[in-house]
């Protein structure tokens, strides 16, 4: 039933293993051998759910294990938290041949990957994502980062994992809100690249929320395949990989303005997708019928479609001008032009952006 997808990159290739009950059998880690050292990075909730199983599997391999428990939440995705990992690695005498294991959602994965890229100039690391959003998106592709008070993911590096282990059984312990947040990234992929997948989502949302095994494996492997293809074509986001930021320019502005963690990343991206669609409509690039389909699919997933009531254009623009996608002070956004296709739109005007934000606030959905 499970799937294995190979991610091809310039420095090394690595597999994504997707299946249920992956913590009940030996972990597929051929690069770890008896006597090796690992540091598991997690948070308290995930520690209580999965640490015992993971540590037992590693102990059976004869691997030396340490762990560090980080505070939970986007607001802790900072350099201060990364330093907690560095301190623990040094206190426990971990050398350059150690391996970090990110056991958790997107925050844990981003922080651990960034620490792995920096500790003694780079050590191996493993992604074991436990949320839907991290399984379909953030654990794959080597984007690692922490936030700054002035901008999201502004301090980071491209650093690929050695393997991604997606245990779909983790979704059984996920809250409905977290599951919905992950659906925003899944919908993003379908809008960008695959109209048939978008139609499949329209017809199978209930199966996904009911955790139907076949539907989950199909959906998550589909997203992983789409992302692996983009990484192969543009690992360092020089061109096509930028498309994966659909909804993120506006979404990151929401997260930064409200304070990290007030809205989940997927919730902010959902609104960002709507505003990007309205931006595209204003430029006569996207028809109203496709916008309605996009909005209805987001609503089916219990995702927000309107931005925070207390945010106006000035709030958005303040953060947009600090966004990584800004080039020579010119705003660049990702715009859908039809379901299944999007473009990178350079040098968009503040007037168009303001119109889309205001339409989002006033639109009757």
> 42-98 pLDDT, tens per residue?
999 999 999 999 999 999 999 999 999 999 889 999 999 999 999 999 999 999 999
Region 141-153: mean pLDDT is 92
Checking if the pLDDT of 329 tops 90, the result is no
- Establish whether 322 is a catalytic residue: no
Mean pLDDT of 354-363: 92
Please confirm, yes or no, whether 227 is among the known catalytic residues: yes
Q: How many CA atoms lie within 13 A of 159 on its CB side?
A: 24
User: Do residues 278 and 291 make contact, with C-beta atoms less than 8 angstroms apart?
Assistant: yes
Contact in structure between 17 and 28 (CB atoms under 8 Å)? yes
Q: What is the mean pLDDT of the chain?
A: 95
Rounded Cα–Cα distance for residues 132 and 183 (Å)? 8
pTM over 0.85: yes
Nearest to 41 by CA among 107, 97, 93, 95: 107
Please give the residue that has the higher pLDDT: either 245 or 149. Answer: 245
Catalytic residue among 10, 34, 121, 328: 121
**Domains, the chain, ordered by start:** 3-173 (3.40.50.1970), 176-362 (1.20.1090.10)
Give me the pLDDT at residue 14, please: 97
Q: Which of 77, 124, 265, 293 is catalytic?
A: 265
Q: Which of 94, 152, 188, 227 is catalytic?
A: 227
Is 178 an active-site residue? Answer: no
Residue range 141-170: mean pLDDT, rounded: 95
Q: What is the pLDDT of residue 186?
A: 98
Q: What is the signed CA dihedral for 83, 324, 260, 224, rounded to 10 degrees? A: -90
Catalytic, 319? Answer no
Quick check: is 245 catalytic?
yes
Alpha-carbon separation of residue 173 from 50, 77, 217, 331, 338 (angstroms)? 11, 23, 17, 40, 35
Q: What is the mean pLDDT of residues 280-291?
A: 97
pLDDT at position 328, please? 67
């Amino acid at each position: 039933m499970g799937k294995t997808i190979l991610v091809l990159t310039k420095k090394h290739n690595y597999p994504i293993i997707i299946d249920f009950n992956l913590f009940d059998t030996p972990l597929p880690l051929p690069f770890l051998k008896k006597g090796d050292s690992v540091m598991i990075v997690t948070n308290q909730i995930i520690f209580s759910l999965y640490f015992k199983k993971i540590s037992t599997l590693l102990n059976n391999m004869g691997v030396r294990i340490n762990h560090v428990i980080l505070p939970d939440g986007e607001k802790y995705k900072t350099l201060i938290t990364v330093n907690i990992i560095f301190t623990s690695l040094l206190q426990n005498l971990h050398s350059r041949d150690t391996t970090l294991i990110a056991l958790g959602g997107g925050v844990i994965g981003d922080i651990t990957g960034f620490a792995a890229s920096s500790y003694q100039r780079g050590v191996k690391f493993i992604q074991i994502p436990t949320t839907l959003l991290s399984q379909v998106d953030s654990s794959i592709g080597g984007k690692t980062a922490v936030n700054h008070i002035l901008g999201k993911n502004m301090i980071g590096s491209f650093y690929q994992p050695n393997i991604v282990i997606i245990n779909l059984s983790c979704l059984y312990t996920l809250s409905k809100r977290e599951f919905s947040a992950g659906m925003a990234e899944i919908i993003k992929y379908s809008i960008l690249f695959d109209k048939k997948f978008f139609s499949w989502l329209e017809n199978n949302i209930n199966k996904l929320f009911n955790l139907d095994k076949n539907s989950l494996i199909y959906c998550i492997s589909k997203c992983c395949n789409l992302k692996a293809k983009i990484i192969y074509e543009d690992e360092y986001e020089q061109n096509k990989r930028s498309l994966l930021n659909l909804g993120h320019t506006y979404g990151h502005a929401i997260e930064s303005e409200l304070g990290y963690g007030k809205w989940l990343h997927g919730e902010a991206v959902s609104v960002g997708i709507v505003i990007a669609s309205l931006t595209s409509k204003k430029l006569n690039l996207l028809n109203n019928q496709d916008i309605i389909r996009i909005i209805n699919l987001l609503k089916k997933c219990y995702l927000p479609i309107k931005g925070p009531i207390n945010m106006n254009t000035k709030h958005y623009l303040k953060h947009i001008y600090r966004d990584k996608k800004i080039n020579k002070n010119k705003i660049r956004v990702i715009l859908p032009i039809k379901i299944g296709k999007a473009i990178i739109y350079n040098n968009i005007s503040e007037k168009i952006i303001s119109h889309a934000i205001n339409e989002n606030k006033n639109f009757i959905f």
